[in-house]
Structure 1
Amino acid sequence: MSNDIVLVGAGCMGAALLPGLFKGFQKSRILVVDSSSSQRKKIAAMGVDVSSSIGDVSGGATIVLALPPDRFAEFASSTSVLSGHPGLVISVMAGVRIATIEHALQVCNVVRAIPNTPAEIFKSMTVFCAAASISFFCLELAERVFSLIGETVRVENEELMDPATAICGGGPAYLSYFAECMRCFAVDHGFNDAQSAFIVGQVFRGTGSLLSVGDRRPMQLCREVMTPGGTTARAVDVLERNNFKGVVGDALLKATTHSQSLGYRVEEAENGRSYR
């Protein structure tokens, strides 16, 4: 039986895609390829076929590349079976540009996407950009795949994919970091671990729900909580006096520029391989 989905790379992001893929495709028609035997064993326990390498792939299969970016050039050079693949190729690799994938695999139906780990519970925010040469069928198929894991935003300008990597791809980590700071404060001031985790988790869930309804911007919600001269206002004043917004901006810029540099390094590695 041929596969509808071939997922290459089952790390944190690749594995997070699987619950959504299970909603839209039969498990028997999904193949997960990963070099780690322990990861293959874990995925196989979900009832999915696994392999350490790609065998024959049908032309209608959707290839999902969830490799670490620095492994892509080596993967492309050692996987001739994907060369000229006529079907959809989705990349969730940070930084790797559409043109690099097109050149490395000699394919044209490429979509570069940045989902995030809430895909595991069908709550991903996926930003994606499609190759200019993509067929209407493959574009619709990509949108269907992304709808299985959460919400989507399509951009025409690929340059936006690097800041999207910083905002969307890394977003769950930044929010979790801030949540951990709040949890530690709660523990330090008398709440037990379970209480602290529950309180902070519910604060984030409730605030996230408020942000997702209506048209209020985040700062409006912030001001609605703050009574002039009150407790929250004093806390926010500390953040502002310590340039918290600037610190966050610097962090996001660092992530953005690293995504760009990853793309350049992969492109250089691919160009070097082509000239050998």
Structure 2
Amino acid sequence: MADPWGEGRGSDAGSLGGTGGIPWWILREERGDPVPALSRRPDPLGSPRIPAQPLSPAAVLQSWSIQQDGPISKVLLFPLPSAPEVDPGAAQPYGLLVTSAIELSVVYRDVLAKGLGDQLILPASDQHDSVLCALVTDIDFDGSAEILLGTYGQELLCYKYDSPGQFRLVWTRRFPSPLLSMLYADLTADGVCELAVVCLKGLHVLQHSLEPTARQVLERLRRRARRRREEGGGGGDDAAGRPPTRRFSPQN
């Protein structure tokens, strides 16, 4: 079998060199607009680097780096909710989550525009020993992602982004052993995702409560029906979001 990467691809053309340390991993974020792709490369000494690099030709356009006080345990890039006053056609702002083994975890806001200059602290994220895993996903069905941190101190922390532009700790959950990894996926094939948490002594699967989930589904259906009526395409749906009943009479 031929080399799928082709010959000569091991050269330094377009490489992301000059890390200043040993990279632990490389993550890539590709965007549908002409804005360059982002690569995140933390190293074990605590220096996240974010080169912005176009797909072709391979060249680094911008690069940001900052020195942390301790080892970095996780780095995640995710879209931040836009403020209501922001133009809908403006570029989507991205946040960079950086968790640490010995200090507070932080989110660098709008890294494409501000680099690593706008830092938001996740309160109390250093109170439960080292953060070992992290996840950014919408677990309350409100359309905005939450930040989940799993710690060696056996705590799961959930943070939410508030309108003033800060993250607040909304709830915590304790486990019988340190948390190693998390996955949010539909494991039971029922249309609703579950949170799988891998701990030092086993796997835990957290399922959403049925009644609150059903209320969220009904509320979304009502909002969709209301939006269709306002746009003139609802066809006269009632307040509950149900389509009008059609009555048929026999043909003569």
TM-score by length of 1: 0.25
Q: Which is helix-richer, 1 or 2? A: 1
Q: Which is strand-richer, 1 or 2? A: 2
Relative contact order: is structure 1 or structure 2 higher (C-alpha 8 Å, sep ≥ 6)?
A: 1
Larger Rg: 2
